[in-house]
Amino acid sequence: MKRVLITGGAGFIAHHLIYFLLNKTDWTIISLDRLDYSGNLNRLDNILSKLTDTQKSRIKVVYHDLKSEINPWIKKEIGDIDIILHLAAGSHVDRSIDYPMEFVLDNVVGTANILDYARYINDKKGLERFIYFSTDEVFGPAPAGIDYKENDRYNSTNPYSATKAGGEELAVAYENTYGLPVYVTHTMNVFGERQHPEKFIPMCIKKIRDGETVTIHSDKTRKIPGSRHYIHAEDVAEAIYFLLINNIDHNLDFGGAKCPKFNIVGSEELNNLELAKIIATSQGKELKYKMVDFHSSRPGHDLRYSLSGEKMKKLGWEPSIKLTDRIKQVVNWSLENQNWIEL
């Protein structure tokens, strides 16, 4: 039975991953979290209420802030580990613009500390896999018709994406220097149940429910909305599991790069106006909206991000449920659990 350490386990994406793995496997999960602005133990409590006692017995929560090294007491609490999934990160773009050093400490120093712990485990008993959870934003804005592949150049446009790129390069370096078995994943905009209410989809659900006006991020003309490849957190969890259980041949390329990278991408691209309309239709409500040129007035916010999902598709994975069905699923759940969309 494998033992898996998931950093940021009380965070939005990570708690979906924990729920997926407890249902799909017999693995033991150790959730490492500092329970800050992004972390919420109520997420774990909510998913645990849906599990059997046996499943619940396979999760342990350890409190730790990765700005500090993992000391001997925390190591003892964690115990032996086979797999590390590093999802803990500061991820709020606006906050990174206002307080960039916070993100350097969380996303670069924090990653260095978990990598040092992974090196300790690897030297002690061998580590099966370390997955660094990166973002589409490291590539920067994508012009129309461009879908960035895993090894395309980076062009960070805000401190958040720059620090995620910095953490990613550290992960690559630890594979090259110390032989850590590292994978890197890039994921686009993730949504789902129990997401923070400030995020676009839960915010839209609430505003449309209440008959309020939804602000749509657009270009300078206020005619072209921003767009993303949205993906549900359950699909992300399924993709991570796919990478963990399959033997994937990795041909060295780009000057002998050893560290495999994988884009986890939703199957459809939607602009934010189309998305808001789907949310409104799902509620049987009228959409009230205004287009706002937020990008030009505040550098660091990009109109379009886009990744190519071809590599994962060729390996045998792509989302199995249509995006529109996933959106309706989250709308219905949110209206039945309205405390999760209230600030």
Considering only CA atoms, which of 257, 86, 92 is closest in space to residue 167?
Answer: 86
Cα R_g (the chain), whole angstroms: 20
Contact (Cβ atoms closer than 8 angstroms) between residue 307 and residue 134:
no
CB 280 within 8 A of CB 324: no
Identify the three-state secondary structure at position 65: coil
User: Which residues contact residue 63 at a Cβ distance below 8 angstroms, ignoring those fewer than 6 apart?
Assistant: 33, 34, 35
Active site residues: 136-137, 160
First to last CA, the chain: 40
Q: Which long-range contacts (CB under 8 A, 24 or more apart) does 48-57 make?
A: 50/19, 51/19, 51/22, 51/23, 55/22, 55/23
